[in-house]
Structure 1
Amino acid sequence: MVSAYDELPRTPANFVALSPLRYLERAAYIYPDQASIIHGKRQISWKETYQRCCQFASQLKQLGIEKNDTVSVLLPNIPAMIEAHFAVPMAGAGLNTLNTRLDAKTIAFMLEHAESKVLLVDPEFVNLAREALSLIPNQHIIVIDVADTEYEGENQFLGSFEYEEWIAQGDINFSWHLPEDEWDAISLNYTSGTTGNPKGVVYHHRGAYLNAASNILACGMKPRAVYLWTLPLFHCNGWGFAWSIAASGGTNICLRKVDPELVMQLIAEHKVDYFCGAPIVLSMILNLPKEKQTSFDHHVEVMVAGAAPPVAIIEGMRNMGINVNHVYGLTETYGPSALCASQSGWNELSIAEQAQLHSRQGVPYPLQDSMRVLDPETMEPVPNDGQTMGEIMFRGNIVMKGYLKNPKATQEAFAGGWFHTGDLAVCHPDGYAKITDRSKDIIISGGENISSLEVEDVLYKHPAVLTAAVVAKPDARWQEVPCAFIELKMGTTATPEEIIAHCQKELARFKVPKDVVITEIPKTSTGKLQKFILREWAKERAENI
């Protein structure tokens, strides 16, 4: 039987597709003269940002870019990178932000897999882009060079267009449209897999809109917030904060690279309210010599992902006026999708007790539907006893559409109606989850995910290597670094330095093992490598340095 409620119509008057593009339009309308972007001495207002994005989008259309085409960018945190987060979807395309720390072979795979039509390149990464493009000679990609006055090196060029000259020819009154369906793709981010090539994670407009709003709620962001870009915008679209700052009507402070002295100067100069990053960013700030520090007299909030920050960092940051918030998530959940929300009374505890509580992954983000620790066999919640292990799973609108061109992996990830993170955890009596192990053997180094199996595959290519196992080794600066344990083939020789040099030829620098141990690797009776023992060995080696 049809209810009278069901007969009420859905019309353009009462239903509009959710998209973060509306955040930009609103900011330009309400705060036209406020600084949207500050980059060195350059300031761009929200009105100018909107017009530049219209010009950018119109020029993409002139190049023949259509819905569901891919536009890739190999850029640091500069104005063009922020503009791309709006202009590319305004043209109906998907934005693919490439990790500038990767090697050319991996970049080439991503460009080919994504079927990228356009590539924006910063001069710092021209050589990397040139090498990557040489590996896919049959793919026609239009290259646009983005010169940057803040780049200290030579502004060398690779493509047919220079960004500023190119967008200047665009239409500031370009008539863009919201997506017909909020489920339409807005961006493509590649994640490190434990086997094989990286997987392409597809975000939709609805998720991006809700993730941006969720960020604001999670950190209590005030209107017209000032945000410092210490977090690479190629990480899950800067965790969605490019869209969050537009929703806030705030100001983006660009930063090409993380220089702790400059970070403190910018915090003081621009009265920065928020920034994000891995624990290494906080460690760099905290370890800055006193004579290079710049004091500031206002409160700052920072979101930290990756390994939980230790007591010394939480206390040190607090003494500086910076409050640390620990968040958790994956590329597949638009970055952070859970936070360790503080409860009343926690501030009365000792710093050590607070750090222990904040080391947990916590509870779902405000607009994420659900996060549970489930038994992967029964799909039932584990007891909230802090001991029974299960797998963290998410369900909601801030979860990817799926893996591009990989239906098998998508189906496996969504088995049972939940997104499977692969992270093993327990649930405490207060309902807060805490990871106890990473079933995917991912090493988190300076905020970068490193697959131990990827590194092992390279090690096995060395002619002297019989067996290889890579685990995370605690590191004061990077939180974790790859540590390789090697068994050599009988009759062969190889030094740790030779093994490291071999890896440097095939891996991005941050993936290369920082410590190589040639030894007999412990195994079970069936020959399975006992990585839990190796992790203890690596921990001991870190403690004995």
Structure 2
Amino acid sequence: MSSAFRPTPASLPPQNAGLMLRQPNGLPANFQPLNPLQFILRAAEVYPDKLALVHPDVKYPVSYSFAVWCQRIQNLAYALIQAGIKPGDRVAVIAPNSPLIADAHHGVLAAQAVPCPINTRLKPSEVAYILEHSGSSIILVDHEYVHLLPPNLKVRVIVSNDTGRPGDPYEDFLSSGRAFSQERGWAGLEYTTDENAPATLCYTSGTTGRPKGVVTTLRGSYLAAVANAYESKIHLESTYLWILPMFHAAGWTFPWANVFAFATQITLRTVDYSLIWKHFLNSAVTHYCGAPTVQIGIVNDPAAKRLPRPISAIIAGAAPTASLIASLEEIGIQPIHRDGRHQLHLSAGRLQVYLQYGPFTRNFTQPSWASLSAQERSKFMARQGHPFATAQDARVVYPPEDGSDTLVDVPRDGKTVGEIVTRGNIVMKEYFRDPEATAKAFRGGSFNTGDLAVWHPDGAVAVVDRSKDIIISGGENASSLAIEQELASHPCVLEVSVVARNHVKWGERPHAFVILRPKSIAKWKGRHEDFEKDLKAHAKGRLPGFACPEWVQVVDELPKTSTGKILKVDLRKIVAKL
């Protein structure tokens, strides 16, 4: 961090600044509506000089204490109000992990508006649709992503050059907000009385159909953030590295969880493994979040080595393989496996419905696992586990019969497959402007995730597959996830995805797409048929015959969504032509 950096004059709070919003009249003394905005005010009050936000790996590095950051957030709120933003208006944010999007998660709420973070990896046509559907009244955009904006916009656009210096359009916008406030401070901003008012509007990318917007609430965001901080053991001495994009399901509520815990946050604009390892080794990082595909990149980076101190990795977004969990543990990364169901992802014939707040279950380590080998223990850890703090029970139910909304639990035998449903504080409120999809998602009075799972006798839930990913071979149901778990244990497999391929005799058989580990590429060069035989032999000792892959195809890469999920729909298109 450059010692030459000084926050803009408008970012410096006045002495003895008040850190309390104007309280509405009529609230009972024993009730305060929950709102994650409370966290930054509390942090600035308790630890004003503690390092809050660091943005180091850019041309113009910046760093902010809680007191300075809190003032900048206040400035943003006033600037939005001056720009005509009213309670309930949507504010679009198109930015990588940077101070801009970190500010927005708090400052937009302070203006009683709704942040709408947009994936920076979308196509311009998708961005245009989201801007139109959300009805966003203003757009905050990073300078590298202005090209995503449609022409002839009728709403105001504020560009950030990501400098933190005077003359940057975003910094000038914040300064105008400070001037507009006339030093009324936080007391000039009113506290939202309705804790069930929208907190975020997050859209997800899809390969077919239109993206859907998921509405979360202030109450749900507050409770999910507290739970994430508690379950992840994030605290005052923690340093969180931003690898997960903050635009993805509002960063699984960690933009608020870290502030609640008084942790320091380091932002990375891109998933750069050399930078990640630089911070792992030199920046006292204690926590980060990432999908399994990101974890695979971390453990296989050339810089990867045993860490001098343990780091906790919150893994969600897809089920990690037991092999991946074991690989993380070997270098000192402690996996905290969660299941999030955090967004709706549509892709040709495949529906993934998630809760949007981020994780709501956690795999709780049991004392009895201590005597197990790393491989045996990792298989238990790969389960999705039990609901954590502030979440309600996750159930596994039989699919409702046609026309029925009655949900019936499957036996807790670890074998019977059903669908995960849940309800409670950290379930999304609704799909924005889509009552039909909302009603379908909440049939039976619970949120239907679309994930197939088994329920173990100890109450732990273990996902076996998406409903569309089950392979039906000779009348037997084979879980593509279970097959992937076993194939990933082969020492030469870096990443694997399995889909159904038509078979004359059996109807369907598994087709495995495999990326080899870098160290194994030379070994199997020109001998992919031999590798196929070797992997099949490995599978036969671990899987029933109908679940063993009939075909193995070595590839250089796997098609993925902008947030790292493997696009099995694209793989199905490939096998359909074979």
TM-score by length of 1: 0.76
- Equivalent AA in structure 1 for residue 329 of structure 2: R
Task: Give 1:473 shift.
Answer: 4.7
- Taking the TM superposition and a 5 Å limit, the aligned residue runs for 1:205-284 are 205-284=218-297
Task: Rate the CA distance shift 1:376–1:311 in 2: closer, same or farther, 3 A.
Answer: closer
Counterpart selection for 1:410 from 431, 434, 438: 438
Structure 2 residue matching 1:177: 3-state secondary structure: coil
Task: Give 1:471 shift.
Answer: 9.5
Task: Rate the CA distance shift 1:221–1:347 in 2: closer, same or farther, 3 A.
Answer: farther
Answer whether contact 2:289 2:314 (CA < 8 A) is retained: yes
- Equivalent AA in structure 2 for residue 275 of structure 1: Y
Cα offsets for 1:205-224 (capped at 9, x unmatched): 00000000110122122334
- Equivalent AA in structure 2 for residue 125 of structure 1: Y
Counterpart selection for 1:162 from 162, 166, 169: 169
- Equivalent AA in structure 2 for residue 30 of structure 1: V
Question: For residues 235 and 520 of structure 1, what CA distance do their matches in structure 2 show?
Answer: 33
Task: Rate the CA distance shift 1:35–1:472 in 2: closer, same or farther, 3 A.
Answer: farther
Structure 2 residue matching 1:267: 3-state secondary structure: helix
Aligned residue pairs total 446
Answer whether contact 2:293 2:565 (CA < 8 A) is retained: no
Question: For residues 348 and 149 of structure 1, what CA distance do their matches in structure 2 show?
Answer: 52
Question: For residues 215 and 471 of structure 1, what CA distance do their matches in structure 2 show?
Answer: 37
Structure 2, unaligned stretches of length 5 or more?
Answer: 1-25, 344-353, 401-405, 471-479, 482-496, 500-509, 518-558
- Taking the TM superposition and a 5 Å limit, the aligned residue runs for 1:419-498 are 419-439=447-467, 473=513, 475=515
Cα offsets for 1:396-416 (capped at 9, x unmatched): 010111011111111111112
Cα offsets for 1:374-415 (capped at 9, x unmatched): 123241211001121211011101011101111111111111
Structure 1 residue matching 2:28: 3-state secondary structure: coil
1:315 aligns with 2:329: no
Cα offsets for 1:78-117 (capped at 9, x unmatched): 0111110000011011001101111111111111000011
Cα offsets for 1:148-173 (capped at 9, x unmatched): 249xxxx9xxxx98101110222262
Task: Give 1:296 shift.
Answer: 4.4
1:103 aligns with 2:123: yes
Question: For residues 328 and 360 of structure 2, what CA distance do their matches in structure 1 show?
Answer: 24
Task: Give 1:298 shift.
Answer: 1.7
Answer whether contact 1:301 1:323 (CA < 8 A) is retained: yes
1:142 aligns with 2:156: yes
Question: For residues 142 and 476 of structure 1, what CA distance do their matches in structure 2 show?
Answer: 48
1:285 aligns with 2:295: no
Residue of structure 1 equivalent to 2:214: 201
1:394 aligns with 2:401: no
Answer whether contact 1:55 1:167 (CA < 8 A) is retained: yes
Residue of structure 1 equivalent to 2:313: 302
Structure 2 residue matching 1:345: 3-state secondary structure: helix
Residue of structure 2 equivalent to 1:483: none
Task: Give 1:310 shift.
Answer: 2.9
Task: Give 1:227 shift.
Answer: 0.4
Please say which of residues 71-80 and 172-181 is displaced more in the overlay: 172-181
Answer whether contact 1:422 1:440 (CA < 8 A) is retained: no
Cα offsets for 1:341-386 (capped at 9, x unmatched): 2111223211221121122221112110221111232412110011
TM-score by length of 2: 0.72
Answer whether contact 1:423 1:440 (CA < 8 A) is retained: no
1:94 aligns with 2:114: yes
- Taking the TM superposition and a 5 Å limit, the aligned residue runs for 1:108-147 are 108-129=128-149, 133-134=150-151, 137=152, 140-147=154-161
Task: Give 1:326 shift.
Answer: 1.2
Question: For residues 161 and 222 of structure 1, what CA distance do their matches in structure 2 show?
Answer: 33
Question: For residues 471 and 111 of structure 1, what CA distance do their matches in structure 2 show?
Answer: 39
Counterpart selection for 1:82 from 99, 102, 120: 102
Task: Rate the CA distance shift 1:51–1:220 in 2: closer, same or farther, 3 A.
Answer: same
Task: Rate the CA distance shift 1:339–1:122 in 2: closer, same or farther, 3 A.
Answer: same
Residue of structure 1 equivalent to 2:4: none
Cα offsets for 1:303-354 (capped at 9, x unmatched): 1113333344323322322101211122242111111121112232112211
Q: What percent of counterpart residues are identical?
A: 39
Residue of structure 2 equivalent to 1:191: 204
Counterpart selection for 2:38 from 22, 26, 46: 22
